Every structure is written in C-alpha cells, then in structure tokens.
C-alpha cells in the first residue's frame, strides 16, 4: 500500500476486507487527528458485569491521564438485543471517531450463534486490553463441592442444575461453561440455562438461591469469594492465574481438556480513517501500559494486555470462524 493514499479514505473493514500490517504502519506514521468534541462511549451491556467495569475504567483513565485533549468522555449503558442496540448507535455515527463502543468476545459469540443480529466485521476493533478468565462458581454452602460433584449430577440428569449466564444464551458466559461440559460428556443441549441482564444480576440470583451455578468472569465472582459467600469450582483459562486466581484450579487440571478465554477492548464505528484509528490506538495503548490500569485489571482477577488495531482485527476474523465451529459442535447455532 502506498503512503500517498488519501488519509481521509475510509478503511471500511466490512466482511472480507483487511489491511496488511505494513500498509497500516506506513499509512499512520504522521497521524494528526485529535478529538474536538465530547466523546460518547456506548456500553452495550447492563451495569454490573466485567464489560461495564472495564469500559468505565477506560473512560476514567482516558480523562484522568489526559489522553483525550481536554474532552469529556460520556459513558452510557445501552443494553438490549444481545448488544445490538449499542452497535446500532455506532452505526448511526459511521465515520465519526468521537464515538466508541465495547469490543468483547461475547459479541463475536453472539454473531456466531445468531443471537446478535449484526456483523461485527462492519466495525473497527481498535484495541484489546483485557484477557478475561471465565469461572464457574457456586454458593459457599452448595452441596456441589468440586467439578466432580457437578459432573456426576449432570451426567445423571443434565437438566438438574440451573446455570446463570448473561446477558442471553449463546454468548461467551454460556459457551465458557458449555464447552467443558460437552468435553466431559454432558448433554449440553439439555442444560437448564437461565439468562440475566448482566453478570451482576447473575450473581445476585446465585446468592439468593434462585440458581445453582453461575458462569461469569473474575470481576463479578472474586469479590464474593473474598467475602466468603461463593466458591469457585473451575477456571476456563488454559493455566492458573495470579493473585486470588492462583488458588482456582482449571478445568484441565481436573481432567476436562477444555478452555475458553475472552478478550475485552474498544470498538470504533465503521468508516473511520487511518488517522483516527492511529489516535485511539495510541491513547488506549498508553492507558493499557499505565500502572493504574494494570492494577485495576489484576485486582479484578484478569490479565491486562494490549493488542492494537491490526491484531484486534485479525482476532475478530479468526475468533468468528472458530466460534462458529464451536457453536455448531455444541448445537447452539442458529436454527
């Protein structure tokens, strides 16, 4: 790709489009775009879960670390239709880099299962900033003491245990429990799966005795572990985490050869140009490399990291293909 390409030209990023890494680097070297008005950050889930936690952390640090040239970042939750309402807001502002959205594995899973009536490839994933570990947890007084107890119950009757997921069936918190259970020989199409608006609501249901098990990420589960109210049975990470997560055994350690990792980051509307992508990639990289951000993510039980536009775009394409294969194997795909 030549460096004299019109820098205001849309990158597109619709289905089937891609931008070679060397071309991207050359195109963005002299980026000069900066925000000139309030930035609207739409969070496509209800408050209370990890997507909301990290989005609000990004908003706070963009402002406090002065990464947005004096502009305000307005974060607003827009849950509904498996994240579609938030994405529609981005679509209405195509080409306007004063609008941000949440980019996470759950949206890709939603597209693969047919729950999300949108094509994630029509948007621009500009950064991945958190590697999330999915956990399966029960109340501290649950008779399900470990993974073996859970599997024994489910193998007798797959519908006998109720699982809380969020925000709907077929997204990442559902896949994170369905995948290892499928590998362990459980009839996952017969599971009793109860969706809630957010993982925070899932945890309330667990603590209230309305469900038996919750599948959620670290920020939702670990505070209740610290409070002595919840016990974690397994992590879907390939290896044990650090800090509080170091005590949580993986599915693989317990004889189930399966894992499921989610990523969380930032999305831009389609039609933005190279200068705008370059600005946000740089600003978010600086947030991701800050001690304050890393401490917040580590405290939540997940791993801070950073992947920019090129790697995020590649991940989107690869994860969509892999998740489609997974949901087909699990029988969770669209009818």
**pLDDT computed for residue 207 by the predictor:** 98
The CA-CA-CA angle for residues 11, 15, 17, to 5°, reads: 40
Concatenating the DSSP letter of every residue in 233-298 gives EEE-SSS--SGGGGGSPBTGGGT-----EEEEEEEE-TT--HHHHHHHHHHHHHHHTSHHHHHHHH
Residue ranges in 208-269 assigned as alpha helix (H): 218-226
Q: What are the structure tokens assigned to 124, written together?
A: 């621009």
In this structure, the chain runs to a length of: 335
pTM here is 0.79
d(C-alpha 312, C-alpha 125), whole Å: 6
Which residues of the chain are modeled with pLDDT < 50? 1-28, 30
53-83: per-residue pLDDT in tens? 999 999 999 999 999 999 999 999 999 888 8
What is the DSSP-derived secondary structure letter of residue 334?
-
Please state, in angstroms and as integers, the Cα–Cα distance from residue 76 to each residue in 56, 66, 101, 123, 279, following that order: 9, 20, 10, 19, 22
Q: What are the structure tokens assigned to 147, written together?
A: 């993974």
CA 212 to chain centre: 24
**pLDDT computed for residue 276 by the predictor:** 96
Please state, in angstroms and as integers, the Cα–Cα distance from residue 17 to each residue in 122, 179, 270, following that order: 9, 30, 12
**pLDDT computed for residue 335 by the predictor:** 61
């Amino acid at each position: 790709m030549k460096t004299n390409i019109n820098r205001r030209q849309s990158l597109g990023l619709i289905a089937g489009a891609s931008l070679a890494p060397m071309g991207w680097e050359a195109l963005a070297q002299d980026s000069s775009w900066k925000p000139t008005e309030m930035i609207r950050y739409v969070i496509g889930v209800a408050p209370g879960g990890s997507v909301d936690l990290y989005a609000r952390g990004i908003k706070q640090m963009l402002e406090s670390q002065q990464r947005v040239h004096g502009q305000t970042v307005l974060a607003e939750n827009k849950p509904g239709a498996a994240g579609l309402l938030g994405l529609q807001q981005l679509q209405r502002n195509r080409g306007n880099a004063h609008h941000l959205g949440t980019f996470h594995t759950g949206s890709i899973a939603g597209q693969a299962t047919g729950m999300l009536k949108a094509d994630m490839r029509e948007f621009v994933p500009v950064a991945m900033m958190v590697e999330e570990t999915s956990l399966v947890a029960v109340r501290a007084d649950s008779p399900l003491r470990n993974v073996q107890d859970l599997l024994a119950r489910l193998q007798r009757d797959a519908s006998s245990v109720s699982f809380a997921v969020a925000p709907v069936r077929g997204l990442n918190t559902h896949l994170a429990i369905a995948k290892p259970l499928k590998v362990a020989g459980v009839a996952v199409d017969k599971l009793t799966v109860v969706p809630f608006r957010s993982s925070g609501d899932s945890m309330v249901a667990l603590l209230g005795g309305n469900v038996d098990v919750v599948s959620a990420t670290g920020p939702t589960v670990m505070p209740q572990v610290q409070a002595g109210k919840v016990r974690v049975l397994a992590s879907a990470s390939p290896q044990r985490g650090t800090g509080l997560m170091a005590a949580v055994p993986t599915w693989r350690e317990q004889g189930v050869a399966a894992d499921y990792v989610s990523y969380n980051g930032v999305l831009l509307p389609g039609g933005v140009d190279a200068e705008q992508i370059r600005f946000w990639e740089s600003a978010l990289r600086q947030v991701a490399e800050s001690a304050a951000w890393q401490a917040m993510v580590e405290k939540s039980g997940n791993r801070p990291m950073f992947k920019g536009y090129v790697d995020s775009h590649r991940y989107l394409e690869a994860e969509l293909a892999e998740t489609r294969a997974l949901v087909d194997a699990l029988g969770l795909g669209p009818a």
